[in-house]
Chain A
């Protein structure tokens, strides 16, 4: 049945609001289970469901009304202390919320599908010992008291809605629809976001700041035009250089401010991703029979929306792994002298131009011997290869597709895909993965990601007179070396770097640059990291660091191996951006051999 709603705007408002409420609801419900005494939390949950119910009945979504109504009844009993919060009740409530989400998704898709809501409702009913009429009365009471303040807070909103419909009692319903608006004003500044990513909500203040900056820019432009005409008419040619210097300084200042502002608008708090984890962890822990305390830090850390969209999946896999592989069962933990409840710590923080996300558990840690054994059993590496590997390289084996320590595939893990997904996504973002591992005490996965994908800090290098730009996010260090220090191992040039052996790639050769006839024996090695791999890129000279805007090369030249895009330099020329992932990924097969050779 297609949706028949006269007022499209009203429907959109309803969808936006409901989606937002539901997202928050999951989080709140899980917290409620932990602290059932929190009356404020309880009321907030109740209000959310109630708002959804009110709005959907106003718009005539009967299925939604039925489900939310029963859920509300159960919540009401919890609120009044007639029921006690138990995992069983929470399971049913969460299921009901999921159903509500499905129904809302149907409405969003523009088509109401007949869904089985009776089975979920049937699960809710046992928690209601009262009969239906009483329940209705109960829920009607708070409706009245809540609509009153809302209507006064939003009289303007209520008025047009009332005008639309001659029936007077619709007014409080419309007010309820608008009810969360005043609550939302505060979090809106944090960039509260809807599930659909096509629109952005921007804080008005940020927009004003942006306007200011643009005003400044216009001013500077006028000054530049003035300066030019002064110069042309021969007025004070001596002061020109001075004035021009000042002008370019100011322009520099204004544009970098502008850039920051625009960048900030694209930023979202990582909370958007993090907030779905308590629910996932709760369910997983129940399924696995483990006791888990999920601690989240730094959820207010902001990062680019493109990054936010991509890190969700890898994080889910890492958390799942932490719970499934990392943490022991309560009994094992007690036997090992640890507290029964395991801890998983999820944190995000800014570190320079990067964002660092870490997933840390205090479980059993990763046993390198076991990893090595499994990898050999599965035929991913040979014994000779293993013999040459350091412990770091062995840990990195878990990223190989097809690797799994599980004997049996369950619906949780065992297919050997998870870590490969992690690696692929992190690579896509030009990020780095580090593993810290302490056997018996847990492991930590650290993801280092660039703040944005549109403008990057880059290292400009010269390769046989051609200029290339390497994303600074993947550069670990640079060094000047004599080519005599290069060693040849199994057809692969390597460099001994402290205690490790670094495979080398000559950029000039990879990009088949014409030899510029440079016979100097010293050159520079730029050590880049992609996910867990490290490679040294051999270049002729280092030119310096610059912030560059990434420009696509277009469809025809997309997917060139080792080239991630291009950028325009100060002199208007195009410089290509090296894609370390493409370079290293291109030698996938040799990658293992390389580390084996090392």
Chain B
């Protein structure tokens, strides 16, 4: 499944500009469609939740709503790192649920043309599941990996979430 927003637009007119939020994770730059992101917040107190998959960091109170927080580092099997003042939680709506994702740093919102998005290379070096890579953007001085978090959770994982976890 392509990111819906991407797909619809590309059908209408190829080369449409899309906006991405770019963020850093272990010195790599990633991008996520801005329409997916609800808000970006600083680190808060996270309450650990027992008996969850290792990448579930816990839950936070987002203005009265309790939402799960996922560590993208752990999800992608990257080395652990301490949180610092640049650490951010990106709150997104993934498959109808609000969720927060911890990233090292959020840098900017960039505009790119859809034509610039190339299919992901067949071999992925870091631990990132090939699954949730929607493509790569190769600009002059930067390489950006476009993520589709909807695809981050495999059907199995979703089922696990909702049954035993």
Which residues of A are interface residues toward B (Cβ below 8 A)? 466, 510-513, 551-563, 566, 568, 572-576
Q: Are A558 and B66 in contact (CB under 8 A)?
A: no
In this complex, what residue of A is CB-closest to B99? Answer: A556
Q: Are B47 and A575 in contact (CB under 8 A)?
A: yes
Q: Are A513 and B45 in contact (CB under 8 A)?
A: no
Interface code B49-73, partner A: CB below 8 Å = 1, 0 otherwise?
A: 1111000101111001111100000
B162 within 8 Å of A by Cβ? yes
Residues of B with C-beta under 8 A to A559: 162-165
Residues of B with C-beta under 8 A to A551: 64-66
Roughly how many angstroms separate A560 CA and B52 CA in the complex, as a whole number? 8
A455 to chain B, nearest CB (A): 14
Binding site of A, secondary structure by majority: helix, strand, loop or mixed?
loop
Given A561-B164, A573-B61, A574-B61, does the pair A554, B47 have CB atoms closer than 8 Å?
A: no
Given A555-B161, A561-B164, A572-B61, does the pair A466, B68 have CB atoms closer than 8 Å?
A: no
10 cross-chain pairs, A with B, having the tightest CB-CB distances, nearest first: A511-B50, A574-B47, A556-B161, A551-B66, A566-B66, A568-B61, A573-B45, A574-B61, A574-B59, A557-B68
Task: Count A-B contacts at CB 8 Å.
Answer: 81
Roughly how many angstroms separate A559 CA and B164 CA in the complex, as a whole number? 6
Q: Are A466 and B48 in contact (CB under 8 A)?
A: yes
Q: Are A556 and B47 in contact (CB under 8 A)?
A: no
Residues of A with C-beta under 8 A to B64: 551, 568
Roughly how many angstroms separate A576 CA and B96 CA in the complex, as a whole number? 23
Roughly how many angstroms separate A571 CA and B136 CA in the complex, as a whole number? 42
Given A554-B97, A554-B98, does the pair A561, B66 have CB atoms closer than 8 Å?
A: no
Residues of A with C-beta under 8 A to B96: 555
Q: Are B50 and A562 in contact (CB under 8 A)?
A: yes
Given A557-B68, A568-B64, A568-B66, does the pair A513, B50 have CB atoms closer than 8 Å?
A: yes
Residues of A with C-beta under 8 A to B59: 553, 557, 566, 574, 576
Which residues of B are interface residues toward A (Cβ below 8 A)? 45, 47-52, 56, 58-61, 64-68, 96-99, 158, 161-165
Residues of A with C-beta under 8 A to B45: 572-574
Residues of A with C-beta under 8 A to B49: 553, 557, 560, 563, 576
B35 to chain A, nearest CB (A): 21
Residues of A with C-beta under 8 A to B68: 553-554, 556-557
Roughly how many angstroms separate A558 CA and B65 CA in the complex, as a whole number? 15
For A511, give its contact among B51, B56, B158, B164 (CB under 8 Å).
B51
Q: Are A556 and B97 in contact (CB under 8 A)?
A: yes
In this complex, what residue of A is CB-closest to B45? Answer: A573
Q: Can you show 27 pairs from A to B with CB atoms below 8 A apart?
A: A466-B47, A512-B51, A551-B64, A551-B65, A552-B66, A553-B49, A553-B68, A554-B97, A554-B99, A555-B162, A556-B68, A556-B97, A556-B162, A557-B68, A559-B162, A559-B163, A560-B51, A560-B165, A561-B51, A562-B50, A563-B50, A566-B59, A568-B64, A572-B45, A574-B58, A574-B66, A576-B59
Residues of B with C-beta under 8 A to A562: 50-51
Roughly how many angstroms separate A551 CA and B63 CA in the complex, as a whole number? 12
Other than A566-B59, A572-B45, give 13 A-B pairs with Cβ distance below 8 A: A552-B66, A553-B49, A556-B68, A556-B162, A557-B49, A557-B68, A557-B165, A559-B162, A559-B163, A563-B49, A563-B50, A573-B45, A574-B58
In this complex, what residue of A is CB-closest to B67? Answer: A554
B162 to chain A, nearest CB (A): 6
In this complex, what residue of B is CB-closest to A567? Answer: B66
Roughly how many angstroms separate A356 CA and B50 CA in the complex, as a whole number? 33
In this complex, what residue of B is CB-closest to A510? Answer: B50
Roughly how many angstroms separate A504 CA and B98 CA in the complex, as a whole number? 37
Roughly how many angstroms separate A562 CA and B52 CA in the complex, as a whole number? 12
Roughly how many angstroms separate A552 CA and B59 CA in the complex, as a whole number? 11
Given A566-B59, A574-B59, does the pair A560, B97 have CB atoms closer than 8 Å?
A: no
Residues of A with C-beta under 8 A to B67: 554
In this complex, what residue of A is CB-closest to B58? Answer: A574
